Structure formats: C-alpha cells, structure tokens
Amino acid sequence: MTSPTPLRPLGSAGPQVFPLGLGCMGMSALYDDADRGESLATVHAALDAGVTLLDTGDFYAMGHNELLVGEALRTAPPALRERALTSVKFGALRDPDGGWTGYDGRPAAVKNFAAYSLQRLGVDHIDVYRLARLDPDVPIEETVGAVAELVEAGHVRHIGLSEVGAETIRRAAATAPISDLQIEYSLISRGPEERILPTTRELGIGVTAYGVLSRGLISGHFSRDRELSATDFRAHSPRFQGENLQHNLELVEALRTVAEGKGVSVAQTAIAWVLSRGQDIVPLIGARTRTRLAEALGALDVRLDEADLAAIEKAVPPGAAAGDRYPEPQMAHLDSER
C-alpha cells in the first residue's frame, strides 16, 4: 500500500492542503476554449487523486468559472466534495465585452462579491477569499477588514492575498491572520525570492504559486506553431512574442535535456522545482484535461537532488526569460512588482 501524500500548511493561519492545487481559470477563460465535460472530469479526477484546493475567481469569464466549479462540486461523490477547499479571488471589474476596467476593494463591494460567489459556487462558505489585485484607492486594511468580517460571520474561513508586495503583506497581516499569498512563481518568474518570500516566511504566511508552467510556455508542450486566438492571454503576453518566444523556447529545450536525463517530462521538472523551493509553497496547476493533470501529479514523485537542482539552474538561470510576465498595462497593477 502506498503511503498518502503529505499535506502542506497554507501558512500558520490556514488549512493543511494537498501539495498541488488545481487552478480552474483556464477551464473558462484566458486560454483557448476548453471542453466543459473534460473540465468537470478533470476537477473530479483531481479530487479523486487527493487534491484539496480548487482555485477560481469571480471574474474568470464573469462568473462562468465559479458556476463550473459549483457544478463540479455538486456532481462529485460526497466524499470528494467534502475534500474540496475553494479559493476564490474577487475585485477585478469587467465590462460586457470582456474588458478589464479596474479593481474594487471597498468593504461594501467585498461583501457584494462574496454574496454572488457563494451563490454561484453553491456553497455555504468560501475556504480562502482574496482580493485579486490591490485597489489603489482603498487601503488594504479596509479590504482585509471586510474579509475578516466575512470570516466572523462564517461566510469565509481564511483570508488570502494576491500579487501584493512586502509592505502590503505586512499591513494585511497586521490587520487579520493571512493564510497565503497567491503569486506567480516559476523557474522563469523568480521575482518573489528577493523580498516577498522572506516576508511571507517571517510572518508565517503560505504561498500558492501560479504560472508554474508560465501559462504553458515552459511545459514542454508549447511550440511556435501554436495558433492563439485574440482572446488568449498568450497572444498578448510579452513572453510569447517573436524573438522573446524563440529565446524562451530555447530555455525549454535546455530544460528538456535535464528532464530527459531523469526520465521525466519538462512540465514535471518545472513543477517539481517549485515544489522543492519550500514546504510553504503549494503550486497551482492549470490542468484542463485529465491527461495534463496526470502529468502534473507525476511531479510529486520527482526527487530533485543538489546535482539536479544545479543542472536545472544552469539550463534556466534566474532572470533568463525574455519579456515581462504580463503586458505593460497589467504590470502596472502589480503591487508585487513595486
């Protein structure tokens, strides 16, 4: 009998979770169209494999993603449904054409967002609730204070943060207990190492890492020939453009050599590297199919020793990526980049 996968703590204030979370965004939004039936099957397969954390956002296709996660929960066998922990982002504002029009972290807005999310998800509480991007017009204390009131009332269990920098993390943690910071972190996005990870570690805050495969770029499955629709995030992401893409895919080929030497896939190597960065880090996997999910789960069996880590860092040294991780207007919203 195989022993169960050890859980990881989402900070000292949060729950224990399976070491990989399932990011559900790509099942509704931002990448090419996903298959609804396969998305639901992927959520069920993830829960069946032991995954606990399901990450979504109310603005992912304007409620579509929460409805999808809600359906997956409703149609899951009870034992799997009980295992699921919902992690929900709020605050990003959309228009009817899908445009992004800013952020709203006002306390009344927080409670309004939560009321709709609870309804769409079909749950009586949200496990981790977080503002997606800092609202420059609302002090973080006010937004976190509003989520703390939702915790007090039983509608939310834990307070998370997303893409904020060290100073904001400190102010939030001084307001209420914070379970985890969600932030992009991967072999080619190592910005959090400088100031953010030392701060979360000092304060006992966990990290849910997204973009661990840099949105598929370093998965080993992405190629220059891939056609992207105008609504696909990657069609506008600096890392996926022209010479940047060429350079970044060369890094992937160097990583592939290391992966093949270990008999594992490129994606598994990239995920295992993030897993190796600390027990406080839980990678969110953006799998949209059971095949991709199975590959990602395989990363849990990859052991990276000192020589492997050195070979990986040689293939993809810190700062090696060409291009920012978001288009310029979106970079401007990242408190974490200040």
Ligand X SMILES: NC(=O)c1ccc[n+]([C@@H]2O[C@H](COP(=O)([O-])OP(=O)(O)OC[C@H]3O[C@@H](n4cnc5c(N)ncnc54)[C@H](OP(=O)(O)O)[C@@H]3O)[C@@H](O)[C@H]2O)c1
Is 285 among the residues that bind ligand X (CB under 6 A)? yes
Q: Near ligand X by CB under 6 A, which window of 42-50, 120-128, 173-181, 214-222?
A: 214-222
Is 325 among the residues that bind ligand X (CB under 6 A)? no
Contacts of 283 (CB under 8 A, 6+ apart): 19, 20, 21, 208, 209, 210, 212, 271, 274, 275
Q: Phi and psi for 55 in degrees, rounded to 5?
A: -100, 135
- The single residue among 162, 179, 237, 269 that binds ligand X, judged by CB under 6 A, is 162
Q: Is the dihedral of CA 210, 48, 219, 298 positive or negative?
A: positive
Q: Near ligand X by CB under 6 A, which window of 35-43, 72-80, 211-219, 238-246?
A: 211-219
For helices 64-75 and 36-48, angle between their N-to-C axes, nearest 10 degrees: 50
CA 26 to chain centre: 11
Of 138 and 264, nearer to ligand X (C-beta) is 264
Is 59 among the residues that bind ligand X (CB under 6 A)? no
* β-strands 281-285, 206-210 pairing: parallel
Report in angstroms how near the CB of residue 1 gets to ligand X at its nearest: 27
Of 212 and 321, nearer to ligand X (C-beta) is 212
Report in angstroms how near the CB of residue 91 gets to ligand X at its nearest: 11
Report in angstroms how near the CB of residue 220 gets to ligand X at its nearest: 7
CB atoms < 10 A from the CB of 296, how many?
Answer: 26
Is 238 among the residues that bind ligand X (CB under 6 A)? no
Is 286 among the residues that bind ligand X (CB under 6 A)? yes
Distance CA 29, CA 20 (A): 21
Report in angstroms how near the CB of residue 157 gets to ligand X at its nearest: 18
Report in angstroms how near the CB of residue 41 gets to ligand X at its nearest: 14
Is 91 among the residues that bind ligand X (CB under 6 A)? no
**DSSP for residue 7:** P
Is 207 among the residues that bind ligand X (CB under 6 A)? no
Q: Is the dihedral of CA 282, 287, 289, 295 positive or negative?
A: negative
Is 192 among the residues that bind ligand X (CB under 6 A)? no
**DSSP for residue 5:** P
26-55 residues near ligand X, rule: CB under 6 A: 26, 31, 55
Report in angstroms how near the CB of residue 185 gets to ligand X at its nearest: 10
- The single residue among 10, 25, 131, 178 that binds ligand X, judged by CB under 6 A, is 25
Is 163 among the residues that bind ligand X (CB under 6 A)? yes
Q: Phi and psi for 187 in degrees, rounded to 5?
A: -55, -30
Report in angstroms how near the CB of residue 163 gets to ligand X at its nearest: 5
Contact map string, positions 108 to 137, toward ligand X, x by CB under 6 A: ------------------------x-----
Q: Near ligand X by CB under 6 A, which window of 5-13, 36-44, 193-201, 286-294?
A: 286-294
- The single residue among 8, 120, 190, 215 that binds ligand X, judged by CB under 6 A, is 215
> SS3 letters for 196-221?
HHHHHHHHCCEEEEECCCCCCCCCCC
Distance CA 131, CA 176 (A): 14
Yes or no: say if 15 and 26 are a contact pair by the CB < 8 Å rule. Answer: no
Cα-based distances in Å from 256 to 76, 265, 267? 36, 7, 9
Is 73 among the residues that bind ligand X (CB under 6 A)? no
Location of structure tokens 């979770």: 17
- The single residue among 68, 131, 207, 213 that binds ligand X, judged by CB under 6 A, is 213
- The residues that are catalytic are 60
Binding interface with ligand X (CB under 6 A) = 23-26, 31, 55, 89, 132, 162-163, 182, 210-216, 219, 221, 267, 284-288, 292, 295-296
